[in-house]
Structure 1
Amino acid sequence: MTDTTLQVRAVTPDDFDAWLPLWDGYNRFYGRFDATALPEHITRTTWSRFFDGYEPMHAFIAEHGGRVLGLVHFIYHRNTILEGPICYLQDLFTVEDSRGQGVGRALIEAVYAHAKASNSSRVYWHTHETNHTAMRLYDDVAVKPGFVMYRKDV
């Protein structure tokens, strides 16, 4: 596959059936939920946010030959040390047989371009420390600032 044949674009409402298997695959990859999928109402809420002009949430897909190979979701939010919004790349997933072929890189680059056009000077994300395959790409397209994430579900 060459970069010229890969298309990255914003999702449309008609993309739901093609997007859903990748969304489910992403959630399984990170072990977010048991053998069943994420509750349908959460998936539907997430999907609807991509089309709500009041939500700062966006989604792109990568396609090749009519097949959806990857997805990326990103969110803009305020920051205390920058004037413009910053962009959190929340979810990135590619189908297994397309990994290492530039799909993830193309999705990240599309987020970078959207962020720049949206007056955002920073894109950041997290990944699990065991996601070594993805980190090879991330080390090539971004810097690792050394911060450790802490969280507590409340």
Structure 2
Amino acid sequence: MSEVTVRPLEQEDHAAWRELWTAYLTFYEATAPEEVYRSTWERLFAAGEFEPKGFIALLDGKPAGLVHYLFHRSCWSIEGNCYLQDLFATPATRGKGVGAQLIDAVKAAAAERGVSNVYWMTHETNATARKLYDRVARRTGFIEYDLL
């Protein structure tokens, strides 16, 4: 049986992180300039309570997924919120618990900080991920809008 391990990103994970994040962006038909890759990697390790953090998932010791998350203040609670961002499991590892364990890791990190509200978005066409999300979370019914 395959074993999934989730741990915080480490500096030595740069190549694996870059490959996984690139695959995530490709899935959503998006790209990021080199300076965004560089800045994001640096920010994942920067001090500060509102800098993003990340976890990597390993399946049998090999990179299988990643997640970024960040905390932010809220007018609705003293503790604030945790936004789960960029959740990705490689196509070959989907259905093997990678995504669920990455979500659990973010939930635990939020709980350590006293934050109970962990939320995220996905595209309405992402049926595979939505099966997991419908199982582990509640759909809020809110619709996202962006100012372009």
TM-score, normalized by length of structure 2?
A: 0.96
Match of 2:38 among 40, 44, 51: 44
1:17 aligns with 2:15: yes
Task: Report percent identity of matched pairs.
Answer: 44
Following TM superposition, the consecutive aligned residue runs of length 4 or more in structure 1 with deviations greater than 2 angstroms are: none
SS in 2 for 1:74: strand
Match of 1:104 among 89, 99, 104: 99
CA contact (8 A) 1:89 1:123 kept: yes
Amino acid at match of 1:42: V
User: Aligned partners of 2:73 and 2:51: how far apart in 1?
Assistant: 11
Equivalent position of 2:118 in the other structure? 123
Offset from partner CA, 1:41-90 (integer Å, 9 cap, x none): 11010011111012431000001222110000001000111110210001
- Shift of residue 19 of structure 1? 1.1
Uncovered stretches (5+) of structure 1, i.e. residues with no partner: none
TM-score, normalized by length of structure 1?
A: 0.92
Q: State the Cα RMSD in Å.
A: 1.0
SS in 1 for 2:82: strand
1:7 aligns with 2:2: no
Amino acid at match of 2:117: R
The 5-angstrom pairing of residues 22-37 of structure 1 reads 22-33=20-31
Match of 1:95 among 86, 90, 93: 90
- Shift of residue 40 of structure 1? 1.1
User: Aligned partners of 1:109 and 1:89: how far apart in 2?
Assistant: 11
User: Aligned partners of 1:44 and 1:21: how far apart in 2?
Assistant: 13
1:132 aligns with 2:127: yes
Amino acid at match of 1:145: T
Offset from partner CA, 1:71-110 (integer Å, 9 cap, x none): 0000100011111021000110011000011100000011
Match of 2:145 among 139, 146, 150: 150
User: Aligned partners of 2:85 and 2:4: how far apart in 1?
Assistant: 22
